[in-house]
Structure formats: structure tokens, C-alpha cells
Chains A and B, each alone.
Chain A
Amino acid sequence: MRDVAIVAFAQSPSVRSDTQRNEVEILMPVVAEVREASGIPKGEFDFICSGSSDYLAGQSFAFVAGLDAVGAWPPVSESHVEMDGAWALYEAWVKIQMGYADSALVYGFSKCSLGDLPEVMAMQLDPYYQTPLWPDAVSMAALQARQCLETGAVTAEQMADAVVRSRANAKSNPNAQLSGDVDREKLLAEPTFVSPLHKHDCSPISDGAAAMVLVAGEKARQHCERPAWITGFAHIMEPMDLGVRPLTESRSTAEAARRAGVDAAKLDVAELHGPFSHQEILLEQAIGIGSSTDVNPSGGALAANPMMAAGLIRLGEAAARIHDGSAATALGHATSGPCLQQNLVCAMEGR
């Protein structure tokens, strides 16, 4: 395995609706920021990989607009995933592992405010059995939450506590959308939204973007004082159909963490991508996170959830704790699909 490190990370503020800028205009400042931070100028990246979704932009090949702005002339080596930018990062990491690149620029972006996001999300489902029923993303998550609550896998108090933690941690994150001091009992007393979920159990709808730079080998130290070295990287997908996989645990997260060589007892920081409060708890359980690990110091997805970037932001927030020296080991997690269908784990350390 080649040593590869995250040497720069930037994100836009997450906002409910950016009425001034289009997707590309939200993206470009963060791309400029990581170019500047890494010292790698435009045109000098061996590989560029992005994550975005035509379904959110409402037009086919929407990612081309982003690529045009990032710069595709003279010709560049480039790829795109219709997934969260965390999977674009995975592709870039594989490319570097294969020896086809020594550096990569990765980004993810979306403007979720343009449509009815929970309804748009129904289009990622099985087109024969599920999408024609238009089960929105909140309803799908609510089916999982009820099973978790009724089997005792997760308690209502744990769900409220995840929200309390998220909002409190987000107070020190200027890019977060929701932050502040909230009270567990008050949260529990709120009316339900899509029962059994409350509105606060759901991540907000966010416009936003994030970018990251990967560099291989000792050269990484030329671009970053304290690079976040990737020690393990894996992603696993489960069946989409909710009926044929256990919903009260995240098997794929547990397996991805195992393959990434995660030692939960030695984790300083874990940034988990749980778009719904019960999912954050399932993820903690799957990885075996204990009380010595700082979970979601950024506030996590419950505080800001720009689709196609929120997973990449988790990895970036984890890397940022290595960069600033506050953590020696960190884990970034990203999820995709309904009810934690697919999960990615990236383990990193400072040396």
C-alpha cells in the first residue's frame, strides 16, 4: 500500500437555501481554498474526481458545469461519481494506489434547495417496487427508527441526546446550519414529524460544497505541516430493499471498519455521517465507539447535510483534527442510500 495523506480540506458554510449563487458558484471558493492551502496550482493535479447528482441539479451531466469551472483544459485526467464526494475520494485513493497519480483534487457539491429533497430521494430507490410509491427519505428513515425503538436497539432518549450533542458541538463550527443549546426533555416533548421521527431527528436540507487534496508519499509533507495519513479505507454496500437486511444494526459499517483496520479503543475522533439521529447511534454501535472518542465535534450531519458533500465533510473534519494536532487518530464515515444502505470508513492518523 502506498502512503497517501489528506493535505488540505475546505468547505462552504451550509445554508438552507443559497439564493445568490448556483451550484458551481458555491463550489469554486472551496476549490480555490484547497489549491491555495496545498500550494498545488490549477493544472498540476494528476487526477480530479467529483461527487454530485443530476437529480439534484435537475439536468443531465450537471457535473460538467463544475468541471468546466475547475478547469478541464488543457485536458485533465478526471472522473465523477453520482455519489457523495467521499466516494470520489475513494476513487482518487485507488487511482493513487494503482500508481496512476501522485496527487488528486476531490470535491462534492449540491444545491438541495432547488427541489423537494425528500421526494427527490425516492428516485434513488428500486424503480419497480419502491419509487412508484414515492416513499420520501424521511418516511424511509422513520420505518427504520420505529424498528430500532420497538426492539430496543436505540432508545428515544439516545436519539434526543444525539441531537443535543450535535447542536452543542456545532456552536464552534461556523459552517454548521443548526447549533445551540437544546434540552433533551424539550426535544422529547415535541410533536412528531413523520412518526416516530421528530423534525429535530432529521438532518437539515443544506446547500453546500467541500473540497480536499490527496498527496502520496513523503511529498505530502511539502503541502501540509501535519498530513492526515490514510491507514485504512473501505466501503461496503447492502441490499437496497429494507426487507432483506437488518435495519437495527449497520452490518456494512461494522465490516467496513474492520477492513479499514479501525481500533475503536484508540480512536481520538470519529466523524459519523448519520442523517437521522437513530442512525448516528447505530453507527457508533457498529464501530464500537466508546466514551474516550470525541464523536462529531463538528456537529455532524444533524447540524448540516449538503447532499453529495456531507460525507466528504465528515472525512475532512476528521482530517482537520489531525492537521491541527488535536487528534492522533481519527475516523471519517460516509453513508449513501436509504437507511444506511452503503457505508464508507476512512481511518487516518498523524505521524
Chain B
Amino acid sequence: MSEAQLVEALTAPHKLQYTYKRSVGPVMGRFFTALRDEGKILGVRREDGSVMCPPKEYDPDTAAAISEMVEVGPGGEVVSWAWVSEPRAKQPCDRPFAYALIKLDGADTPLLHAIDCGREDAIRTGMRVTAKLADERVGHITDIRCFEPEA
């Protein structure tokens, strides 16, 4: 046995996290499937006719079950934004970016996501942005890689 083999340590991966698996259900399931397979963003129609994106199974005001899906976006308008000048490793962009609430075309409620526009003075409330999809999509919200200013 060589010396290198003698000092080789036994290692095993350890992740400090809860190993829950989650099922997304009938409404979010359709949202994530459409995003992954067709690159489409869906909202859900509420009882009052307005469209909520991201879609949920229940109306947050009336608790009514809702399921009528509607395609929204991929363009939309910035409702609010926060400028992250020092991104953390897990965050969507590795250069300064904005978290933003984005009201997609056809939706009445805004979606939380990231806007990659390079500089703080390149973003303002009311600005038009559009979704940039990930090349390889797996059915997660990160299948939208980020939003970018509309050309």
C-alpha cells in the first residue's frame, strides 16, 4: 500500500439543510411545467377576473379555490426594486443587480425576481423589462434566469 493511500481520509458529503421533497400541486405544477417545457409564464385568474402571477391554488383574499391558468409576460413593468450592490453567492446574479417586483403583461399582481441591468442608474420604477429564460430548464422559478431591460 502506497503512502498516499495510507493518508487518504474517508469523506462523505454533509449538507446542513432539511431534506424535504415538496410536491407543487395542480396550480403551481402547471406553472412550473409550462415554464420548463414551453418557456411560458402562467398566471391564475381570480374570482374577480384579475390575474395573479405567481399563481396560487387559493385566492388570498377570499380563499376560493382557483385554477384557470392564463399566459402572461414575458414582458412587464417594474413596480419596486432593491439594489444589491454586493450579491451573495446563492443570489441570481454574480454582479450588482436588483431584486424587483415585476408586473407581467396580462397580470394584475407583481412577481418577485431579479433584474440584471448592470448599474443602479439603469433601473427605475415603471421601466419595461422582459424575462430571460435559462438554457436548461428543470421546472424551478430559476428557469427564469433573470429579467433584463426591454430592448
Question: Chain A interface (Cβ within 8 Å of chain B)?
Answer: 58, 60, 116, 119, 127-130, 132-136, 138-140, 142-144, 146-147, 150, 192, 194-197, 239, 241-245, 247
Task: Other than A133-B99, A133-B113, A143-B81, give 9 A-B pairs with Cβ distance below 8 A.
Answer: A128-B28, A130-B141, A133-B92, A135-B112, A138-B82, A194-B82, A195-B120, A241-B109, A243-B101
Closest to A145 in B: B82
Binds A, one of B4-12, B52-60, B66-74: B52-60
Determine the chain B residues whose CB is within 8 A of the CB of A243 once the complex forms: 52-54, 101, 109-112
Q: A132-B142, A135-B99, A139-B84 are in contact. Are A147 and B109 (CB under 8 A)?
A: no
Q: A143-B100, A195-B82, A239-B60 are in contact. Are A128 and B24 (CB under 8 A)?
A: yes
Closest to B17 in A: A123
Alpha-carbon distance A133/B141, docked complex (angstroms): 8
Question: Chain B interface (Cβ within 8 Å of chain A)?
Answer: 16, 18, 22, 24, 28, 32, 52-54, 56, 60-61, 79-85, 88, 90-92, 99-101, 109-114, 120, 125, 140-142
Determine the chain B residues whose CB is within 8 A of the CB of A144 once the complex forms: 80
Contact assessment for B112 and A242 in the assembled complex, using a CB-CB cutoff below 8 Å: yes
* Min distance, Cβ A240 to any Cβ of chain B, angstroms: 9
Number of A-B contacts (CB under 8 A): 99
* Min distance, Cβ B140 to any Cβ of chain A, angstroms: 6
Determine the chain B residues whose CB is within 8 A of the CB of A146 once the complex forms: 80-82, 125
Determine the chain B residues whose CB is within 8 A of the CB of A150 once the complex forms: 80, 125
Determine the chain A residues whose CB is within 8 A of the CB of B88 once the complex forms: 116, 119, 134, 136
* Min distance, Cβ A138 to any Cβ of chain B, angstroms: 8
Determine the chain B residues whose CB is within 8 A of the CB of A135 once the complex forms: 91, 99, 112
Determine the chain B residues whose CB is within 8 A of the CB of A192 once the complex forms: 83
Closest to B16 in A: A58
* Min distance, Cβ B98 to any Cβ of chain A, angstroms: 9
18 A-B interface contacts by CB (under 8 A): A119-B90, A128-B28, A129-B28, A130-B112, A132-B142, A135-B99, A136-B84, A143-B101, A146-B80, A146-B81, A192-B83, A194-B82, A242-B101, A243-B52, A243-B53, A243-B101, A244-B52, A247-B80
Alpha-carbon distance A197/B85, docked complex (angstroms): 12
* Min distance, Cβ A245 to any Cβ of chain B, angstroms: 7
Most chain B CB within a 10 A radius of its CB, from A132, A143, A150, A239:
A143
* Min distance, Cβ B20 to any Cβ of chain A, angstroms: 8
